[in-house]
Structure 1
């Protein structure tokens, strides 16, 4: 996990530190590719999903529950490591934490999508995956403000892939990730003199956020008949 985060964070750092979500949108797509396709010893979403299905005799809901539980633990571990000693309170640590949590959450949502029968090679589905990373509150708020045209399900089952929507969603997700990490950084300021407390707070925040995103993806990405992309 640390190797994957380091690999992507080197590209994400400049955009994150400038707080320019649109500039970081392309890097988010790299994160999604790592989450879905895997990287070295980090298995991709499909491999994770199939392993969970095999363990629960192909029961989709049990497999999804297992995927969510696994990624809550992963989010907690990476959150703990990057938050020890108030590490997240320093700007230089922002990209590493953001990359780590983004990879964990993206792989979780993509695994859920695969279990529900969505084609992870479909760009519409990939856009839907990153949309789920906004969480239910984030999507609902953006739908009300009309900054997002439809739900993750609507995006995944749209007649055609919309590149402009993909760029829009990517920018919104990166902005949300920056906001979350920045908010946690401020909260951890009061704990930076107590290293283990800072780590525990970081683990709890990241784990709970991942749980909520997993629940939202579970609810949103209902099983659908796949539709081919129109030429």
Structure 2
């Protein structure tokens, strides 16, 4: 393991002390805000319908547009929350993690609605969180039997398992913390230049959002008979 990787791992271990409230409860709150909306933030279902209307009912064009929009949003917040460098890290890391969680949850929820999934269904919400971890982390958890099934299977499971809610939330919180700190703080510490943190934040958050968006679009396939978008979700 290189010096930067070691720095990132060490920093990740310290984040709970810096941001003790970034727990499973924080993940569920971020998901709820992303799905249901809060303040000026519209519910994901409303956004999905608006994007669908803008693309004349073409679901796949809407899916692509949703991913592209959230990549830009993630990059912008990644830049703003990391431009301060080491001096502001105790404040900006929690803000970065929270912002990234809401943006990526909202993107996945919007995609799920476009594909005909019921966002009120707890099974679908668990699938959204599973997508948030990305394919590599999901595969790792499946191999270690820490996750019973991939996102698509979670969303369409015969029954909802309440015990899975907390398990997935904890895993997502850990993954978000490690992702933000491990890939970003190591570079910031290594170079000690504030603007570098902003550039790295923009690139890292934008790229991770793009990858997760593509994974969610691939995993959450159209539901037969789905009616979340008035039946138009089946145009794909």
The TM-score bracket by the shorter chain reads 0.7 to 0.9
Q: Which structure would you say has the larger RCO, counting Cα contacts within 8 Å and 6 or more residues apart?
A: 2
Distance 1:20 1:164 in 2: 25
Task: Say how many residue pairs are matched.
Answer: 212
Contact 2:22–2:94 (Cα < 8 Å) also in 1: no
Distance 1:179 1:50 in 2: 34
Confirm or deny that 1:186 pairs with 2:186: yes
Name 2:51's counterpart in structure 1: 52
Name 1:203's counterpart in structure 2: 202
Contact 1:75–1:101 (Cα < 8 Å) also in 2: yes
Shift of residue 28, structure 1, vs aligned partner: 1.0
Name 1:172's counterpart in structure 2: 171
SS at match of 2:92: helix
Contact 1:118–1:224 (Cα < 8 Å) also in 2: yes
Offset from partner CA, 1:105-148 (integer Å, 9 cap, x none): 00000000000000001111011101100001110111111111
Question: Judging changes above 3 Å, is the alpha-carbon distance between structure 1 residues 157 and 111 closer, same or farther for their aligned structure 2 residues?
Answer: same
Name 1:129's counterpart in structure 2: 128
Distance 1:152 1:164 in 2: 16
Distance 1:157 1:88 in 2: 46
Runs of at least 4 residues off by over 4 Å: 19-23
RMSD: 2.3
Distance 1:84 1:23 in 2: 21
Distance 2:99 2:144 in 1: 29
TM-score, normalised relative to structure 1: 0.85
Identify unmatched segments of 5+ residues in structure 2: 1-13, 227-236
Question: Judging changes above 3 Å, is the alpha-carbon distance between structure 1 residues 115 and 148 closer, same or farther for their aligned structure 2 residues?
Answer: same
Shift of residue 198, structure 1, vs aligned partner: 2.1
Offset from partner CA, 1:60-97 (integer Å, 9 cap, x none): 11000000000000000000000103159723322111
Shift of residue 16, structure 1, vs aligned partner: 5.6
Q: Could you tell which deviates more after superposition, 83-92 or 25-34?
A: 83-92
Contact 1:71–1:108 (Cα < 8 Å) also in 2: yes
SS at match of 1:90: helix
Distance 1:172 1:130 in 2: 9
- Higher Rg: 2
